[in-house]
Chains A and B, each alone.
Chain A
């Protein structure tokens, strides 16, 4: 088997030297894959993505255990800009654009790494995928709507010409129609540019429709993972993330118990 693009192994992150946000999280993204992370609020999804993309010292968060390998190189506790240079970009959950810079400037501040294989500049590519942004070029990013902002954030992430793009809360603030378009573009981006994608998404149905593989996080641990198709059909996912009531209602506690035992016994 080849080396996966990104391999996270038994990761543990501690905030402020006291709060353990995630523990023993392992996940893999192979070249050309779209991988989804699911989980309720506070499960540790954002923490996982931010650990991969590098905390800034300001945050007082540290990776205390485990390894993050990107193309076989260690990324733990590296400064964020270095991680971006290696080809790993993130679209964060909050504060995703520079509000006082125009749309064009938001894209221009990114240091150039390279263009695409067919000689187009990254700017052209981005405007091709998000034509709406081309219309708004001169607008200040702080004046964009939430959805436009999300597009700009993804576009800026693409400007870094990454090999792997991390997206936190993909559909945050987007109209359902826009979500549909966006997910299509993402698949296209993956197919045309060969960019792998690791995304966090609240809506399991949206995420699993485009993803190849999925992980479910709960209380800072991976409780379930598998092929997207398999997860879509999984009873727990059906019940807790897709809202289809299962046959027999079990209490939350029973479910946890059941999950835990399944994790231990395979």
Chain B
């Protein structure tokens, strides 16, 4: 998508130490602390329904962050995200069902399975670009889903695999609030990993590959290695998200990993804003809450009970429309809107215009 607007924050880095800091200004520090506090208090202040909702957002955020690394940062298009989630969930489900494997075995195994699958998904990227890559990952999605379905039918779990809550140090993770904090921690950890990856050599290599592969290669960046690395990291994180999903739901079924799930994740990074980790978070929030908002809106409408049967269809249609609106009118997503609003207030009463554009 197009380049992000420059920020007009008025804050400049004045020493090398500044460059390494994660949180740069005092304002940023206070707002981050306030936000953290809100997150900590949240589950105790609201009903279990909202706790579950927040937990879903965290889960989605992990997957969205991972996809953002791959597509938004490294520029490798993947339409196989649901397949990766399925791989993680099924690794967990199978290991648990067949061998009664505990939490600390299944999770790393899911990550490993994801990483291996990442190599498989990534191999085409060494030869294919853009559209063709998207297509190959799409095909792999169907393959993974088929394998999962095959396992279900072969072993007679045609309705899905039941997974008991994980037990850590003799403590069963079951209560919604406990899950809230576990997944909050997981999402925060993923965010931290992603931020640091972006600042590392790999992050710079990915952005170089994204902006121009040929030039990146000419600059001596090992394209193949970094592309594969992007696929592997993304897939490993996504598969872990899949494993957590399996435990959280206590249930794994291939039905849950349709193409629509992939589209939802792709929508998260589009709606959030390509190339920005903040965008991934915003997108995850937006897309996860969207169906609930629609449902709420429809319930508020007159004749709500008549519409009840079509909630699902309205959801689809509305989701399609929102995606189109973002693609057409706001390709930089929610982050783009946020940046514009911020710049507007920072620069007020002046206005920012690009060169060659009449104000």
Binding site for B on A (CB under 8 A): 14, 17-18, 62, 64
Contact = CB atoms under 8 A, between A and B. Distances in A.
A210 B164 CA distance: 89
B98 interface: no
B356 interface: yes
Interface string B346-359: 00000000111110
B6 to A, nearest CB: 13
Given A64-B356, A64-B358, 9 more contacts: A14-B355, A14-B356, A17-B354, A17-B355, A17-B356, A17-B357, A18-B355, A18-B356, A62-B356
Interface in B309-359: 354-358
A17 B358 CA distance: 11
A17 B353 CA distance: 10
B159 to A, nearest CB: 52
B332 to A, nearest CB: 16
A242 to B, nearest CB: 37
Nearest to B353: A17
Nearest to A63: B356
Contacts of B354: 17
B328 to A, nearest CB: 14
Contacts of A64: 356, 358
Nearest to B358: A64
Interface residues of B, number: 5
A14 B353 CA distance: 15
A208 B358 CA distance: 39
Nearest to A17: B356
Nearest to B357: A17
A20 to B, nearest CB: 8
A261 B357 CA distance: 31
Contacts of B355: 14, 17-18
A260 B356 CA distance: 26
A10 B354 CA distance: 21
Contacts of B356: 14, 17-18, 62, 64
A33 B357 CA distance: 35
Nearest to B354: A17
Contacts of B358: 64
A14 B356 CA distance: 6
11 contacts: A14-B355, A14-B356, A17-B354, A17-B355, A17-B356, A17-B357, A18-B355, A18-B356, A62-B356, A64-B356, A64-B358
B99 to A, nearest CB: 57
Nearest to A18: B355
A238 B311 CA distance: 80
A16 B355 CA distance: 9
Contacts of A17: 354-357
The residue in B355, B356, B358 that gathers the most chain A C-beta atoms within 10 A of its C-beta is B356
A62 B358 CA distance: 12
Interface in B31-57: none
A171 B73 CA distance: 46
A14 B358 CA distance: 12
Contacts of A62: 356
Nearest to A16: B356
Contacts of A14: 355-356
A165 B355 CA distance: 32
Instruction: Sort A-B residue pairs by CB-CB distance and give the 8 closest, nearest first.
Output: A14-B356, A17-B356, A17-B354, A64-B356, A17-B355, A18-B355, A62-B356, A17-B357
A62 B355 CA distance: 11
Contacts of A18: 355-356
A92 to B, nearest CB: 23
A124 to B, nearest CB: 44
A62 B357 CA distance: 9
B4 to A, nearest CB: 15
B3 to A, nearest CB: 10
A62 B354 CA distance: 13
A117 B354 CA distance: 49
A17 to B, nearest CB: 4
Contacts of B357: 17
The residue in B355, B357, B358 that gathers the most chain A C-beta atoms within 10 A of its C-beta is B355
A62 B356 CA distance: 8
B211 to A, nearest CB: 14
A14 B355 CA distance: 9
A208 to B, nearest CB: 34
A61 to B, nearest CB: 9
B77 to A, nearest CB: 21
A14 B357 CA distance: 10
A137 to B, nearest CB: 36
A18 B354 CA distance: 8
Interface in B82-130: none
A64 B356 CA distance: 6
B331 to A, nearest CB: 15
Nearest to A20: B356
Interface string B288-301: 00000000000000
B1 to A, nearest CB: 14
Nearest to A64: B356
A47 to B, nearest CB: 14
A210 to B, nearest CB: 36
B7 to A, nearest CB: 18
A14 B354 CA distance: 12
Nearest to A62: B356
A132 B357 CA distance: 47
A64 B355 CA distance: 10
A55 B355 CA distance: 18
